[in-house]
Amino acid sequence: MDELLTPLDIYNKEFNKTFSVWAYNTKEVEEFLDLVAECYEEIYLENEELRDRIADLEERLQEYKEREETLNKTIDTVKETADKQQRTAEQRAESIIENAKQKAANIKERAKTQAELIIDKAEMKTEKMVNQTNEQLEEERRKYKNLVESKELFEAKFKSLLKTYLVMLNESDGLEELELEQLDNLEKQNIEELKDKFNSDISDELSTIKFSQDKVAAIEKDKTE
């Protein structure tokens, strides 16, 4: 069949009359009915095919809708999970930051306490050294004072001894002039040796005292700085 009939073709179809004015040609009617049946069959089959395709498309559409719904649920679940993980990560980050701040504060406090202890120990040690040095200085001053007193006592005793010795020499008639001169030289030599030894001892004591004074001054300077 080359061309399908339209409803207008069926409506306008006219049959030739044979025996009567009002009668239709049976053959033409049958041929037309066959043609109509053939066209209707094609339309029916096509309609059935379209129905099947529509049903298949509706089924596939329903499947797509279900997939879309499942996908939307999955997206919502993923989004909810991501939001939950983000909140958890933020809470964990805040906790880590807070712990870090607390640890830093503890370390700072411990460092401050240790620094104060070190400073206190250093001050106590410095004070102890100063006290010890002052005690040593006082001891050296006491020794120096004793040396000065010993010198004065020695000079007084030595002068007294010389006077006594001179008196004894004046009272002795048996000594020769040469012996007196030798004795005088011997006494002078002994006096010079005693003076040198005493001056050496005094110099050593003065050096020790000066060293102690310098040490005290250095400690006081370090303590001030």
Q: Which two tokens stand for residue 106?
A: 């503890």
> Is 191 in contact with 108 (CB distance < 8 Å)?
no
C-alpha 103/C-alpha 160 separation (Å) is 83
Tell which residue, 5, 29, 6, has the closest CA to residue 17.
Answer: 29
Q: How far is CA 146 from CA 149, 154, 203, 205, 208, in A?
A: 5, 12, 14, 11, 15
- 146-204, pLDDT tens digit by residue? 877 877 777 777 777 777 767 766 665 444 444 445 445 555 555 566 556 656 655 66
Tell which residue, 147, 127, 142, 149, has the closest CA to residue 222.
Answer: 127
- 130-160, pLDDT tens digit by residue? 888 888 878 877 887 887 787 777 777 777 7
- 13-51, pLDDT tens digit by residue? 666 665 555 666 777 777 777 787 777 778 878 888 898
C-alpha 159/C-alpha 182 separation (Å) is 19
Residue with tokens 């000594």: 175
Whole-prediction pTM: 0.36
Residue with tokens 């983000």: 86
More confident residue, 39 or 77: 77
> Is 39 in contact with 5 (CB distance < 8 Å)?
yes
C-alpha 68/C-alpha 71 separation (Å) is 5
| Whole-number pLDDT of residue 43 | 81
CA-only gyration radius of the chain, Å: 70
Tell which residue, 9, 39, 14, 42, has the closest CA to residue 28.
Answer: 14
Neighbours of 191 (CB within 10 A): 12
Specify burial of residue 103 (Cβ count, 10 A radius: 0-12, 13-18, 19+). exposed
